[in-house]
Amino acid sequence: MRRALLDRTAEGGCPHIQDPGDPPLRICTTIEEMRTACRAARRAGKRLGFVPTMGALHEGHLSLVRAARASSDVVAASIFVNPAQFGPNEDLAKYPRSFERDRELLEREGVELLFAPPVEEMYPAGAVTWVTVEELSGKLDGRSRPGHFRGVTTVVAKLFHVVEPDAAFFGQKDAAQVAIIRRMVRDLNLAVEIVVCPIVREADGLAMSSRNAYLDAQQRQRALVLHRSLMRVQGLAEAGERDAAKLLAVGREEFTGESLVRLDYFEIVDPETLDPVEDVSGGALVAVAAFVGSTRLIDNILLPSA
Ligand code: PAF
């Protein structure tokens, strides 16, 4: 019944139209319940798509859900604010939480299974086992957020073990996270396809992020410098500049005089290894992170190979 009502673009861009006959969203709070539900779907021959999130959903997350919906028979999502990926001085306590609204959005998009475990379910007392992608985890955001990617890969590996999805959907906005999860999946031979969806932006270019909710009106305006700096680099690259040092100088220059914004990093790297490149002819990831007030925002663009 659902199939007949769906009208999607090839990219899965159209919202799901919920039908009264659709099964309601089932919320699982224990690993056993979620694993049993996911296994039942797969045993019935359904292709299972999975969208892991920390909640506070926005259009970026919903684009992942729509991509999952477009290529899966059953869509599962998770909402879990993962303490292991927050540093001691980061925003774990104040991270936006909006479970009821998120639940409604996911239901409207036709998600069938939602995993929303308490912290003790994911990290039982005495848990001392971590999944670390060596080297990559110390690059880009990993340099300024020590331990962050160890927390991400540990929780994503655990979620993959619970859900056992055929495909999992991540946003390109977290470009370093994408590279690290891809490497983890490769190195550990995990049987999951990683699907990466494009960054979703506000009309003025600001990349959508749950952390944008922290910005006041003035900071929201100043935050546009991230996108502006990337657009300057893209313009120059499109005009034929291949020298990463020159492109970096132009991107970084955009931040001078921005008193409310503190640049964390502006780098041009190989999208897989996250190592700096000197020449962008082979394609490159241009990534930026900056504090706007106390809110840390990230953004990036991919330069195609020439
Ligand atoms: O990208 C996120 O929201 C989180 O890092 C993830 C992948 C859900 C793991 O907690």
Three-state secondary structure string covering 126-153:
CCCCCCCCCCHHHCCHHHHCCCHHHHHH
Tally of CB atoms within 10 A around 273: 13
pLDDT at 114 over 50: yes
Tens digit of each residue's pLDDT (9 = 90 or more) over 268-298: 999 999 999 999 999 999 999 999 999 999 9
* Helix residue ranges, H only, the chain: 2-5, 31-43, 59-71, 99-108, 119-122, 141-144, 148-163, 175-187, 217-222, 224-238, 244-253
**Catalytic, out of 16, 58, 61, 161:** 61
pLDDT mean across residues, the chain: 94
pLDDT mean over 115-127: 98
Please report the domains of the chain, with CATH numbers, ordered by start residue.
Answer: 7-197 (3.40.50.620), 210-301 (3.30.1300.10)
Both structure tokens of 32: 């056993």
Whether residue 271 contacts residue 248, with contact meaning beta carbons closer than 8 Å, is answered with: no
Whether residue 92 contacts residue 85, with contact meaning beta carbons closer than 8 Å, is answered with: no
**For position 16, what pLDDT does the model report?**
61
Residue whose Cα lies nearest atom 8 of ligand 1: it is 53
**For position 111, what pLDDT does the model report?**
98
Q: What pTM value is reported for the model?
A: 0.93
16 is catalytic: no
pLDDT mean over 186-211: 98
Which of 51, 54, 61, 148 has the most ligand 1 atoms within 8 A of CB, as the residue to mutate? 54
* Pocket lining: 55 vs ligand 1, CB cutoff 6 Å: no
**For position 12, what pLDDT does the model report?**
39
